[in-house]
Structure 1
Amino acid sequence: MTTQTPDSKPRALIAMSGGVDSSVAAWLMQQAGYDCTGITMRLTRNETLGQSGFHTCCSEKDIEDAAEVAYAMDIPYEVLDFTADFREQIIEKFVRVYEAGGTPNPCIDCNKYMKFRHLLDWARAHGMEYVVTGHYARVEQDEATGRFLLKKGLDEGKDQSYVLYNLTQEQLAHIRLPLGGLHKTEVREIAEQHKFVNARKHDSQDICFVPDGDYARFMEDFTGKHYPAGDFLDESGRVVGTHNGAVRYTIGQRKGLGLAMGAPVYVCGKDMQANTVTVGPEEMLFDRIVYADEVNWIAIPELTGPLRVTARTRYHQVEQAATVYPAECGFRLEFDQPQRAPTPGQAVVLYQGDTVLGGGTITRVEK
């Protein structure tokens, strides 16, 4: 990192996705006296994916919008090509997890490997102190311990702390999240006041490389494989129908099964080796114990004994009361009440109040 002289401005790299949030984050940092440079990461190419890229992030249209906002703000702007790294670290892992029977979370991996690793490295190499994003979360430093803390965004409906649980102390020290104390309505108002081209742009809703939501079709196109049909089984192991390939189903799924069994059934399990999908009543989906590995602690250096927490096993889930215990490869989380469909491959994030304690990747669940 460069050392600032008293009369120089701190330098910040603004990760500009082309959306309204990152554009307003750039404006707020400029107003706060930072010397800003806008950067868009090119992660995929639309023609490679066979997609228009509409309503995703990092499309050609997003690059145009980000460039226009940067021009209006009179700040330098560049597009950095990370398509090869994104393919290797995000897309290929996405395919591996689905093929192993899990449900991946590529947006969390993208934050970990792409946004806050590659961008921070690039910022340092170009003499910039901070990486800034439009996430709705807050970073604060604990005066007593000196540790950097990740806290929920004040707009509960937009809080994105769940997808940032992998941030390290080193990264948190050099990250600025200027939207953490704002509500989305305030952000759009700022964008409209300054006539940003994306002031009313829809938020991206889908995984950027699967914007139509058809994961299995994308995987078949990407790998050249065909995922064959197999047996639907009931909870006793009896064949009750034929599925279209086990990778096409997720734990807890009800729609699209094509089964007439006299009562609603849900996907309760998958055996990828046998290519079977087990279905059953909703009560089969509930588990109380979750094991996690690939753990990252933020508010504490490590877990040395049981702690009371609240936890989410899905992005927008309401937090649930639980106790976390150290385990050999990570932690064991015991919920006070059974939870619906905690799924291997997904993140489980632990909170104490509005502070992220840490989190990990779900490896298995128990009743």
Structure 2
Amino acid sequence: MRVLAAMSGGVDSAVAAARAAEAGHDVVGVHMALSKAPAATRVGSRGCCTVEDAADARRAAERIGIPFYVWDLSDDFHDLVVEDFLTEYSRGRTPNPCVRCNERIKFASLLERARILGFDAVATGHYARTGTAGPGGAPSLHRARNLPKDQSYVLAVMGPEAAAQALFPLGEFEDKQAVRDEARARGLGVSTKPDSYDICFIADGDTRGFLERRLGRAPGEVVDADGTVLGEHAGTHGFTVGQRKGLGLDRPAPDGRPRYVVDVDPASRRVVVGAAELLSRDVLVAGEVIAFEELVAGRAVSAQIRAHGEAVPGVIEEIPRGGADRGADEVADEEPAGLRVRLDAPVRGVAPGQTLVLYDGDRVLAAATLERAA
């Protein structure tokens, strides 16, 4: 099988490429250059896809003995991931750029190019597993054996068609140290390279600063649940539901309890803050559903709203009409028919724009974008 191995320059993707080659596949390594600044360098362990990463990936490919190329996908990345990130925050929503990158770059742009060039599959260093556990042997996506590193949440938006052409050689590893040990045994110089964290295009980790530089200042009020003005802010894009730090308030709540962001309204330029209990929600409503199998109202599921959060048991109360989101020809003033899930226990900090992933055990059932909670 002809396999295109996505090589980020880290230890995970290097071992994944080596395993794919060892399995007898005809493997070609490719590094995706995503930065608009080709001179960009790594800051500590933050960020990825830098000049150093491309060089590390090339050396790993040489050690494995596979051809290697660098593909410039920076335009796609900027338009489909960075601009989406900015747009969502300007609308008072909380996007996950890693989800968008996996959906639109690694399993859309990259896979499309792989198909055009005659490759049968794409291999990556993600921690997840694929199979055919769906109804009728349909492609399925599962959690990795290494649960702390599991990335099925950010991969769920790939859908079953892409899952059928994806290889995740690290899915069976029990822990990260085993991956590093194998890299060292294979003579791969990235065996001790630190993991990258945070948002790759915000290498210094200052998300609020990045948003203010790109979106500008739009001053407004910070208010409590009753509408009492408590302070001012420089822009609603600097806040997300559930946030506690950086509220810019010069006095504590009357009862001395911490305040959290409970709502963000860009139209009125208001940020609403309140007590922790105002964040608890047990009903999730989502749209843009990507399902691995047919969803049925009344089905028990586990729901996860953050990449490293816990999955909470619940039940599907409503599914999109026809099993998918409605088209533009449907009546605009009707209540949107989305995916509605009632949780057995409330969760905190549910923000519009977050990704909702539903599981059956370790198997992904669907991914969707949260619209609201109740």
TM-score (norm 1): 0.92
1:34 aligned residue (11, 25, 43) = 25
State whether residues 137 and 150 of structure 1, in contact with CA within 8 Å, keep that contact through their aligned partners in structure 2. yes
**What secondary structure sits across from 1:157 in the alignment?**
helix
Name the structure 2 match of 1:277.
271
State whether residues 53 and 208 of structure 1, in contact with CA within 8 Å, keep that contact through their aligned partners in structure 2. no
Q: Any idea what the Cα deviations from partners look like across 1:258-298, whole Å, max 9, x if unmatched? A: 32223211111111111111111101111111111111111
2:180 aligned residue (178, 188, 191) = 188
Once the two structures are TM-superposed, the CA of residue 305 in structure 1 deviates from its matched residue by 2.4
Ranges in structure 2 where 5+ consecutive residues have no aligned partner: 322-336
319-328 or 151-160, which moves further after superposition?
319-328
Q: Are 1:353 and 2:344 an aligned pair?
A: no
Q: Are 1:343 and 2:333 an aligned pair?
A: no
RMSD over aligned Cα, in angstroms? 1.6
Letter of the 2:29 counterpart: G
Name the structure 2 match of 1:217.
209
**What secondary structure sits across from 1:115 in the alignment?**
helix
- Aligned pairs, how many? 352
120-129 or 341-350, which moves further after superposition?
120-129
Name the structure 2 match of 1:76.
67
Q: Are 1:314 and 2:306 an aligned pair?
A: yes
Once the two structures are TM-superposed, the CA of residue 221 in structure 1 deviates from its matched residue by 3.4
Q: Any idea what the Cα deviations from partners look like across 1:101-144, whole Å, max 9, x if unmatched? A: 00111111111111011222222222211100011110001386
- Gap change, CA 1:278 and 1:51, over 3 Å in 2: farther
Name the structure 2 match of 1:326.
319
Q: Point out 4+ residue stretches in structure 1 off by more than 4 angstroms.
A: 50-54
TM-score (norm 2): 0.90
Name the structure 2 match of 1:122.
113
Name the structure 2 match of 1:263.
257
Q: Are 1:23 and 2:14 an aligned pair?
A: yes
State whether residues 227 and 246 of structure 1, in contact with CA within 8 Å, keep that contact through their aligned partners in structure 2. no
State whether residues 130 and 163 of structure 2, in contact with CA within 8 Å, keep that contact through their aligned partners in structure 1. yes
Q: Any idea what the Cα deviations from partners look like across 1:317-336, whole Å, max 9, x if unmatched? A: 11111111214543001111
Letter of the 2:158 counterpart: L
State whether residues 138 and 152 of structure 1, in contact with CA within 8 Å, keep that contact through their aligned partners in structure 2. yes
1:207 aligned residue (199, 213, 225) = 199
State whether residues 63 and 187 of structure 2, in contact with CA within 8 Å, keep that contact through their aligned partners in structure 1. no
Ranges in structure 1 where 5+ consecutive residues have no aligned partner: 1-9
Name the structure 1 match of 2:287.
293
State whether residues 282 and 373 of structure 2, in contact with CA within 8 Å, keep that contact through their aligned partners in structure 1. yes
Once the two structures are TM-superposed, the CA of residue 229 in structure 1 deviates from its matched residue by 2.5
- Gap change, CA 1:173 and 1:209, over 3 Å in 2: same
Once the two structures are TM-superposed, the CA of residue 44 in structure 1 deviates from its matched residue by 1.2
- Gap change, CA 1:198 and 1:234, over 3 Å in 2: same
Q: Once the two structures are aligned, what percentage of the paired residues are identical?
A: 39
